[in-house]
A and B are shown apart, each in its own frame.
Chain A
């Protein structure tokens, strides 16, 4: 059985506005793509991965940074401390349900103080609020795409 490709026009517009506001407030397009791709990996969103790999390359994110993203914690200086803080927050905010993830030691669930405080050291309050918004926005896109099983490849720059 094929799945619906419907998305209410106003829902789609509001989601686009949300994403644009989050990216604008974060003010770091390359970092934004690392965050968005990592969340899409965790949520298994093929459409989103395809789309954001393309956008990340447009923003000059290196092949090494893209390729090692699912193992960023083990990747040494491929990512700087600010990027690593943002990726740790991305994982925690994406894995709220807990479950089997070992990604940040607690087994998932909640956003650990250490993860939050690490992010707060690298991002001032307005940027942190927009980083949380960006992680939330891509989690939203991941959900509407995976639920409807939208195939990858539909994005053109």
Chain B
């Protein structure tokens, strides 16, 4: 059982809720699918700034409510040299534009629209904003990277994978 210490009081520590177990160990049942996903992930990162990739991955994972992915990519972002402030502000990035470059903001806007397809399409304004900051091949990779984190999010959420145990570099 996990307990959390409160340095300001001597009152009895209140335990956190118990950790859940995953619904399904999908990669054990579909190892060839995991292999394809890892190959896809590596291919989609090519040509993109690693710190930008992590910002995109954290934001998509927030929108899709993937706990494991938020844990992993927040830690990967920090390990890549990202600041705590920029990671914290990601869920409100439109209201904290001065934390990010115009190019990063364009990438975050594209991330949201490509992630929330069920609400309708990718608006011209969002696409054109991204196209103004990314040359064509880089833009195609950005679309691929957004797609791939959406895929990981789906495995993570559906199988209810457990956050909190990731250490940066463990899959390297």
Contacts and interface: CB of A to CB of B under 8 A. Distances in A.
Given A126-B29, A126-B30, A99 B143 contact: no
A132 B158 contact: yes
A137 B40 CA distance: 11
A71 interface: no
Contact of B115 (A10, A15, A97, A148): A97
A110 B65 contact: yes
Contacts of A101: 118
Given A130-B30, A135-B154, A147 B137 contact: no
Contacts of B46: 8, 10
Nearest to B143: A147
Q: In terms of DSSP, what is the predominant structure of the interface of chain A? A: helix
A83 to B, nearest CB: 18
Given A97-B115, A147-B114, A147-B122, A11 B154 contact: no
A4 B146 contact: no
Contact of A139 (B36, B37, B66, B150): B150
Contacts of B127: 1, 3, 147, 149
Contact of B117 (A4, A18, A43): A43
A21 interface: yes
Interface string B113-142: 011111111101001100100001101110
Given A4-B139, A146-B122, A133 B147 contact: no
A96 B40 contact: no
A14 B29 CA distance: 19
Interface of B, helix, strand, loop or mixed by DSSP: helix
Contact of B44 (A11, A21, A110, A116): A11
Contact of B118 (A3, A10, A94, A135): A94
A15 B40 contact: yes
A34 to B, nearest CB: 18
Given A15-B40, A21-B33, A140-B148, A8 B118 contact: no
17 contacts: A4-B136, A8-B46, A8-B141, A11-B44, A14-B36, A18-B33, A18-B37, A94-B118, A96-B63, A99-B116, A130-B30, A132-B24, A133-B33, A139-B151, A146-B117, A147-B143, A147-B146
